[in-house]
Amino acid sequence: MEEPARPVRYSQTTITELMIPSYANFGGKIHGGTLLSLMDKVAYATASKHAGSYCVTVTVDKVEFLQPVEVGELVSLHASVNYVGRTSLVVGIRVESQNVKTGKIKHTNSSFFTMVAKGDDDKPAIVPKLILECKEDVKRFIEAMQMKEIRNSIREKMDDAKSHIEVERAQEILKNERCLLEMK
């Protein structure tokens, strides 16, 4: 039996973590991979709360690190379910980093994780409908629908482009690119 619809606020989740020295790269800034791992964690927590079941990550959209994160900062990841399909959910995540001394908060990135709920049989499971209680909820739901359409159309175009790559014309196609053709 399908579970009852749930409002966005039911599953909204925030994770805050202190950026310790072992998270840093050789340049002293926090690894992008550390942030991605935290984002995956908060996406899982949010999606599984809404779905009431185990979820897996399928696609990640818009990963851009806009500003570096420093050791000693407090990173907060705010996540909410923006969209639900039949068995999939889109979780929007806003990442902010706070300097504890100055209190200054910077927005480091926003991303969208598509998750799929799984049943005990490991097959995709139907997720509860999403109750949209304010204009922001409606805006995010429609935005996610549009992103899904754009992603599908890009995938089709990429598949089509891949099947038409003319390696024989490489000399001409690559003449202004920063590569050297040394094919045997």
Ligand X SMILES: CC(C)(COP(=O)(O)OP(=O)(O)OC[C@H]1O[C@@H](n2cnc3c(N)ncnc32)[C@H](O)[C@@H]1OP(=O)(O)O)[C@@H](O)C(=O)NCCC(=O)NCCS
> Degrees (nearest 5) of the Cα angle 104, 25, 178?
105
Q: Any contact of residue 62 with ligand X (CB under 6 A)?
A: no
- The DSSP output letter for 63 is -
Nearest to 97 by CA among 34, 11, 46: 34
Q: Any contact of residue 86 with ligand X (CB under 6 A)?
A: yes
Q: Which of 14, 59, 76, 98 binds ligand X (CB under 6 A)?
A: 59
Looking at 3-11, 15-23, 80-88, 129-137, which segment touches ligand X (CB under 6 A)?
A: 80-88
Task: Collapse the DSSP code of 39 into the 3-class scheme (helix H, G, I; strand E, B; otherwise coil) and give the result.
Answer: helix
CB of 115 to ligand X, least distance (A): 9
Query: Do the beta carbons of residue 91 and residue 15 sit within 8 Å?
Result: no
Residues 6+ apart with CB under 8 A from 105: 96, 97, 98, 99
Q: Any contact of residue 158 with ligand X (CB under 6 A)?
A: no
Nearer to ligand X, 19 or 55 (CB): 55
Nearer to ligand X, 48 or 88 (CB): 88
Binding footprint of ligand X on the chain (CB under 6 A): 56-59, 85-88, 114, 116, 124
